[in-house]
Amino acid sequence: MKTQNKIILLLSSILLSFILVFGGFIYYTFTQYSYQDFHERLHIRAVTTAKIQLEYHREGSYLKSFKAEYLEKLANEKDYVFALDTLKDLTTLSKKLDVSRTFLDDAVRLKESYFNKNGVFFTGISYPVEGKNYLVIVSAENYYNTHHVVFLRQLLFGAFIISLLLIFFVSYWFSLKITKPLKEIMGDINKIGTDNLYLRLEGKNQNHELGSLIVTFNQMLDRLETSFEAQNNFVSNASHELRTPLTTIIAEADLSLSRKRESSRYEESLKVILGEAEKLNTKTQALLFLAQTGFKGKELHFETIRIDELLIDCKQTIDKIHPNNHLALNFSSLPENPESLLIKANPQLLLLAISNIISNGIKYSNNQPVIVKVESVLGFIKLIISDMGIGIPDKELPYIYDPFFRASNTSNFEGYGIGLPLARNIIRIHKGELSVFANKPSGVVVEIRIPLKQD
């Protein structure tokens, strides 16, 4: 069922239920009031009949003229007066008047009683006069019940039909009012494709919920657009980076085969081809590894390790790559509890990520000191890697995780721009965070946060 139809059905059901309950309450209350009011009228007539006939000893003609002049006329009104000492059997009287025996008994015992049958109402009272008790009964058709209540019933039924139509149109209008912004949003969404991801949903004059939905969707589009642009840049840069060594290899081979040369020239050409092939192999392996670490569905083996031991292994690796390095491990802030140093990690991958970052610090600082500080803070291990190198221009910091991106001040240093994106992917696999900041007055500070092992 469509949402619009659900809204119409829900609103109609709620409003109609309310009208039915309210109308039923009015009808029941009015009916009970009409019964009570009519019994009160009959009670007044019964007392009046008793006073005129029993106390004032007036004839029936006087009673009729009195009622006609001072009391409201009732349909088919009748009155009876019986001396209780002359009544031998109330059962015979109940059959004669077509009333229940209980009604007569209650009138004698309780001094007052009410009864109605087929629209005819009876009121009976016990009235004492001069030491004798009399039973006075007055009956009449309830005009209010037979006319006013019927009119009220018809009025309520007519009002229900009109309300039904009105509720339907109001519910339909209200459903259109609610679903119109959703339809507009869906229309705008259908206009957005891979070729126009720059489009955004308009969020003007929307309520809080739809406004939040639009903001959330636009934020998702921002991420998708960034991802598509990063992918396009990756493909463009990768093709460029791979094409360059391939072009050099082909050109060198063509040049060597164009004519006969001395053996030394062939040897030089082979060295050039070998060097470019090694570069191509390094870039290809880096790209494949970057793609693998970016695939979140890849299952890896994790084990419990101590972060200080991993850093010691990292120091040994760096010593082999940069024998003359000035790397310093600062363990002064290590917690006393060894449990606060344990993390769940893939040792090979995490070692690669941290080694890449430290190696960058050493390379871009011309072998100046690089400091690695370890802290345990609020359920996380925090590594702070700082160097005193050339740093990264502030305006280029947003692009440092783009594959093959290299800062404008790194032209004198060899590199491919893959190490930092690779390190971030590895840190993310470990549910951690990697942040890069400028180190004042020079250099870079890299902060790595990895969650501690959970019990």
Confidence of residue 248 (pLDDT cuts 50, 70, 90): confident
Alpha carbons 284 and 404: distance in angstroms, whole number = 12
447 and 315 assigned to the same domain: yes
pLDDT at site 387: 93
Which domain-ending residue is among 237, 263, 293?
293
Give the mean pLDDT of 314-343: 89
332 and 432 assigned to the same domain: yes
8 and 123 assigned to the same domain: yes
pLDDT digits (tens, 9 = 90+) for 274-286: 888 877 776 676 6
Question: Buried b / exposed e across 302-317, counting CB within 10 Å, b at 16+?
Answer: beebebeebbeebbee
Q: Please say if the pLDDT value at position 24 is more than 80.
A: yes
308 and 437 assigned to the same domain: yes
198 lies in some domain: no
283 and 309 assigned to the same domain: no
Give the mean pLDDT of 256-279: 82
What is the share, in percent, of the chain residues with pLDDT greater than 90? 16
167 lies in some domain: no
Closest CA to 163 of 20, 344, 25, 279: 20
Name the pairing type of β-strands 370-377 and 327-330. Answer: parallel
End-to-end CA distance of the chain: 48
pLDDT at site 235: 63
pLDDT at site 298: 53
189 lies in some domain: no
Which CATH number goes with the domain that contains 20? 3.30.450
Q: Please say if the pLDDT value at position 226 is more than 70.
A: no
Q: Please say if the pLDDT value at position 309 is more than 90.
A: yes
Q: Please say if the pLDDT value at position 305 is more than 70.
A: yes
132 and 246 assigned to the same domain: no
pLDDT at site 198: 72
Q: Which of 134-138, 265-269, 339-343, 446-450 has the lowest mean pLDDT?
A: 265-269
183 lies in some domain: no
Question: Buried b / exposed e across 193-223, counting CB within 10 Å, b at 16+?
Answer: eeeebeeebebeebeeebeebbeebeeebee
159 lies in some domain: no
pLDDT digits (tens, 9 = 90+) for 84-131: 888 778 888 888 888 999 998 888 888 899 898 888 899 999 998 888
Give the mean pLDDT of 37-41: 85
Q: Please say if the pLDDT value at position 244 is more than 50.
A: yes
Which domain-ending residue is among 101, 121, 149?
149
12 and 32 assigned to the same domain: yes
126 lies in some domain: yes
Alpha carbons 127 and 83: distance in angstroms, whole number = 10
248 and 336 assigned to the same domain: no
166 lies in some domain: no
Higher-confidence residue of 311 and 92: namely 311
- The number of distinct structural domains making up the chain is 3
275 and 310 assigned to the same domain: no
Q: Which of 162-166, 223-227, 256-260, 413-417 has the lowest mean pLDDT?
A: 223-227
379 and 322 assigned to the same domain: yes
Which CATH number goes with the domain that contains 447? 3.30.565.10
307 lies in some domain: yes
Which CATH number goes with the domain that contains 289? 1.10.287.130
Q: Please say if the pLDDT value at position 297 is more than 50.
A: no
pTM greater than 0.85: no
Four-residue CA torsion sign, 16, 18, 22, 24: positive
307 and 244 assigned to the same domain: no
Higher-confidence residue of 60 and 110: namely 110
Residue 132 lies in domain = 3-149
pLDDT at site 208: 67
pLDDT digits (tens, 9 = 90+) for 343-374: 999 888 888 889 889 999 999 998 899 999 99
Nearest-10 Cα torsion for 294, 299, 305, 311: -30
Which domain-ending residue is among 118, 149, 180?
149
234 and 281 assigned to the same domain: yes
pLDDT at site 240: 57
Q: Please say if the pLDDT value at position 69 is more than 80.
A: no
User: Average pLDDT over the chain, rounded to whole?
Assistant: 83
pLDDT at site 176: 81
pLDDT digits (tens, 9 = 90+) for 164-208: 888 888 888 888 887 777 788 888 888 887 777 778 887 665 566
